[in-house]
Structure 1
Amino acid sequence: MWTRPSLPAKLRWQTSPPRRTSRPWSTDSPTSTTELKPSLALESPIFDRLRAHADETETAVLVGCIEQRGGEYHNTPAYITPGGELTPYRKRNLWGSESERLTPGEERVVVDTPAGRTGLLTCYDLNFVHESAAFLDAGVDALFVSGAWPSTHAANWRLLARARALDGVRWVVACGRTGRKEVADARLSEYAGRSLVVRPDGVVAGELAYEPDTLVRTLDTGVLDSQRDIVGVSVSSE
């Protein structure tokens, strides 16, 4: 049984800095699927440093990467607790050409965070109502979402973050990648950024623009309880 903390959670949500790469997830051969570059194993020096940082600063971290696991590659955000424990979520719903290179995950992931029971999603997962409904059944109080949406779809990113807050009566904290990538289709070269925090009533509590920045908001459990009373939503915490 999980017990919700009595104090509100204060989140410091920082967007990732712009990264420029000529060939995201590139391979030595255009038809090769044996090695995607750049990719990371969760047991790697980079993740060791992130876990140590989370432990030393008592800060929770959510970081995304292309994960190398055996002979497979996944789009994986990983939640790291203030104690340095790491829980990965492997993206279940692949978008477009991702399915040519990446393997979809099988399991939904719920972690205990200062915001309560929290479901992890990334990018295209945000589109699927059945994923949101499953998290409602799991009794989550918040969704943490990482995304790399193109700037042409920025309005959809914002709309869907609000929709997932409303249909589950929960907080949604969504971090959007900034910067650009060099691709032939110029419409997809700019990332949307637009990180935001959405209240359980669908109101945007805080929002960033395109540039990397830091957003701090308090996720008050009283706001969550009040909205669930109004809507008549009962959520199990088991």
Structure 2
Amino acid sequence: MEVAAIQLGIESGAVETNLDQAREAVVDAAAEGADLAVLPEQFLVGFFAFDDYSTQVAGLDDPLFDRLAEMAADNDIAFVAGSVVEDLAASAAAGYDVPAADGYANTSVFFDRNGQRRGVYRKHHLFGYDSAESELLVAGDSLSVVEFGGLTIGTTTCYDLRFPSLYRRLLDRGVDCLVVPSAWPYPRIEHWETLGRARAIENLSYLIAVNGTGSFPAADAQLCGRSAIYDPWGTARATAGDASTTITATIEPAAVDEVRSSFPALDDRR
């Protein structure tokens, strides 16, 4: 299966501009043969554009999600729509199970090739360090696990990388490929690279870590890019620098079983 990590240059607060460039990148990835694409965290407004969150907020029945579904169906490609600001009250009113009756969440959605919504993940660990996320948003409380292309795919988001117990829970659900839409800033490049690789190694799973690029002067923050696709040994099959780009790699479902059989560390858990 061919996967594409789409590292967007996100313009602070510019929802339509960011949506247009995301659509263009997804179209290009599909044209190049990608089966699955992943976008960065808060790709529509920019993670650190806290004052602009209200300009993008949408319930799961909002036309925004129809537009995202069409991006998948029109291009015959599955994709993880990074994350968006979800209006929990609107989603609840539409009959969706939500972690709170109101408030906003940092929500990732998995669309299949037909534009069907297959998974919804709300970020569990909200970032508080030099960030208003933990003040503005509600944490999620459920997992997203999707069968696609012979893989069992689990979604997490950015700061979640620092909490390995979440990934063990996904492992126990049979996950063998992890996707991590992110908005990881400078200067913690070493943390970003080390934690993504570590989660792949310790779970003997593929991991697709997708970051954005761009500056957010109001928060004095700049995203560091450096998206990467790791195999179950923790070897980087594709990496990016700090510019807007798309990286691709072929991932093979059978490789996970081969690695786990040849190095059965997971069998030694206590």
TM-score when normalising by structure 1 = 0.85
Tell me what 2:4 maps to: 12
Paired residue for 1:213, among 245, 248, 254? Answer: 245
In the other structure, the counterpart of 1:106 is 141
Percent identity of equivalent pairs: 28
How far residue 115 of structure 1 moved from its aligned partner, in angstroms, is: 5.5
Partner Cα separation in structure 2 for residue 53 and residue 99 of structure 1? 30
1:158-173 to 2 correspondence within 5 Å?
158-173=193-208
Q: Give the equivalent residue in structure 2 for 1:75.
A: 106
- Whether 1:26 aligns to 2:45 is no
The SS at the match of 1:89 is: strand
Displacement of 1:234 in angstroms is: 6.4
- 1:60 pairs with one of 71, 74, 78: 78
The residue that corresponds to 2:23 in the other structure is: none
Tell me the CA shift for residue 222 of structure 1: 3.2
1:122-177 CA-to-partner distances (Å, cap 9, x unmatched) read 01111111111111111111001100011211221111110110111000001101
CA, structure 1 residues 221+104, in 2 after alignment: closer, same or farther (shift >3 Å)?
same
Larger RCO, structures 1/2 (Cα 8 Å, 6+ apart): 1
Question: Matched residue of 1:194: which SS?
Answer: coil
CA distance in 2, matches of 1:178, 1:57: 25
CA–CA separation in structure 1 for the residues paired with 2:64 and 2:241: 28
Shift of 1:101: 1.1
Q: 2:56 aligns with which of 33, 38, 44?
A: 38
Task: Provide the C-alpha distance between the structure 1 equivalents of 2:226 and 2:58, rounded to a whole number of angstroms.
Answer: 26
RMSD of the TM alignment (CA)? Answer: 2.0
Offset of residue 37 of structure 1: 3.5
TM-fit CA distance, 1:85? 1.4
Report whether the alignment pairs 1:119 with 2:154: yes
Q: Distance in 1 between matches of 2:266 and 2:211?
A: 30
Match of 2:18 in 1: none
Query: Which residue identity does 1:180 align to in structure 2?
Result: S
Return the alpha-carbon distance in structure 2 between the equivalents of residues 117 and 233 of structure 1. Answer: 19
Match runs of 1:132-211 below 5 Å: 132-184=167-219, 186=220, 189-211=221-243
For residue 42 of structure 1, report the CA deviation from its aligned partner: 2.4
Aligned equivalent of 2:127: 95
Equivalent pair of 1:24/1:37 in contact (CA under 8 Å): no
Higher helix share: 2
Runs of 5+ consecutive residues of structure 1 not aligned to the other structure: 1-8, 28-34
Counterpart position of 1:224: 256
The Cα of 1:179 is off from its aligned counterpart by 0.7
- Using structure 2 for the length normalisation, give the TM-score: 0.75
Contact 2:49 2:218 in 1 (8 A): no
